[in-house]
Structures are given as C-alpha cells and as structure tokens.
C-alpha cells in the first residue's frame, strides 16, 4: 500500500529540523525523510545523501532538463532546492514520507499528493525570537540571516493556506501537539 505524506513548512530557524527528527523517532509513524537536492554549500556537520543531496548548479540544471523533479525552486540567489521523483517513488512504496520544504514547495507537493498529504506550517513565536534562534544556531552569517528573516515575513503571511498551523514556542509542547496532529492523520484517519 502506498504511504501518506507529511509536508512540514517553516521559515528557516523555526524548528522544523528539530520537530521532524522528533516525528522520525516515533516508530509508530513509519516515517522516512525525503532528502531534498540543493545547490547550496554543505554546512558543518551535514552529510551528503542524508541532510541533502548536494549538487553542482550544472548537475541540478541537467536534472531540471530531464524532468527529474516533482518540484524545484530557486529559494535564494543561485541556490536551488528540489524534490526528486526517484527519491519519493522508492520511499512511498513501504513508508509514510515527511518533507521539509518552503511555502512554494509545500503548495506544489500538496497539489501533487492531494488528500494523501497533510501540510503543517510551523511558525516561530515572533520574528525577534526567530532572529535569536538563527543567531544562536550560528550556522548563517549576518547577510544570510537577514535574507532568512525577510523570507520568513513573507512566508508567515501565507500560513493560512496550510491544513494545520503550529506555533513552536515551548519545544516540548510543540513536539506533543505536532505528534497529535500527525497521529490523527496517519493512524486514525
């Protein structure tokens, strides 16, 4: 039987990686992470094939030309992100899948998977707190942080088009609330 799909979307720094890991650790959900492809540079600690498939601009463009993506997008200048058909087709045969994408990617995936998917927007408690988290995560320089904050403001305006919205204020509460939403969709529905 084909699996179901959870689409997590949040401005960078809002906690989707942390929350996605929490969902993935619950065996009852039988979730596998869809590894996106990107042309951005690998950050310290990231593993090729696990966090992202890190591609050169040329490799990425070739895959666009060969129609290998379900969806792709230029998220920041010279930085492409996308979901490969091959990644999804192999996972969905025996698993539910979790995606971590931006708003435009989430819309495309929701259109593609329809009722088989649940889209969840994870919002930071405030823009100030988002900035604090990006600074303390210490993985982006000042320019990158500004870029992410500007994009976050645009994304938060679109949160009402999602099936569910979750505020990630207290982390434990957010983990519990998200698990409940996901459990209702994957197990009880």
What's the CA gap between 151 and 76, in Å, rounded? 9
**Smallest distance, ligand 5GP to C-beta of residue 148, A:** 7
**Smallest distance, ligand ADP to C-beta of residue 7, A:** 14
105 binds, among ligand ADP, ligand 5GP, none (CB under 5 to 8 A by kind): ligand 5GP
**Smallest distance, ligand ADP to C-beta of residue 188, A:** 26
- Six-digit token pair at 164? 């569910």
Question: 65-96 burial string, b = 16+ CB within 10 Å, else e?
Answer: eeebbbbbbebeeeebbbbbeebbeebbeebb
User: Does 116 contact ligand ADP by CB under 6 A?
Assistant: no
**Smallest distance, ligand ADP to C-beta of residue 98, A:** 12
Contact 97, 6 (CB under 8 A): yes
Number of residues engaging ligand 5GP in binding (CB under 6 A) = 14
Using the rule CB under 6 A, which residue among 7, 9, 10, 145 binds ligand ADP? Answer: 10
Q: Please list every residue from 146 through 175 that binds ligand ADP, using CB under 6 A.
A: 168, 171, 174
From residue 17 to residue 36, the character string flagging contacts with ligand ADP as x (rule: CB under 6 A) and all else as - is xx------------------
168 binds, among ligand ADP, ligand 5GP, none (CB under 5 to 8 A by kind): ligand ADP
Based on CB atoms, which residue is closest to ligand ADP, 42 or 85? 42
Based on CB atoms, which residue is closest to ligand 5GP, 144 or 167? 144
First to last CA, the chain: 15
Residues forming the site for ligand ADP (CB under 6 A): 10, 12-18, 133, 137, 168, 171, 174
Residues forming the site for ligand 5GP (CB under 6 A): 12, 36, 40, 71, 73, 75, 81-83, 100-102, 104-105
């Amino acid at each position: 039987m084909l699996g179901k799909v959870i689409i997590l979307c949040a401005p960078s720094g809002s906690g989707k990686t942390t929350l996605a890991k929490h969902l993935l650790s619950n065996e009852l959900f039988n979730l596998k992470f869809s590894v996106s492809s990107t042309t951005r540079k690998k950050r310290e600690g990231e593993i090729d094939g696990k966090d992202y498939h890190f591609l050169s601009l040329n490799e990425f463009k070739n895959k666009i030309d060969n129609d290998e993506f379900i969806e792709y997008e230029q998220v920041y200048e010279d930085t492409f992100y996308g979901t490969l058909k091959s990644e999804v087709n192999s996972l969905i045969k025996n698993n539910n899948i979790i995606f971590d994408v931006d708003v435009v990617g989430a819309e495309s995936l929701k259109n593609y998977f329809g009722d088989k998917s649940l889209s969840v927007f994870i919002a930071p408690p405030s823009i100030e707190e988002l900035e604090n988290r990006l600074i303390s995560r210490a993985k982006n320089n000042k320019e990158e942080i500004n870029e992410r904050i500007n994009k976050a403001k645009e994304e938060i305006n679109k949160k009402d088009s999602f099936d569910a919205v979750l505020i990630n204020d207290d982390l434990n509460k957010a983990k519990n609330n998200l698990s409940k939403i996901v459990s209702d969709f994957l197990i009880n529905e």
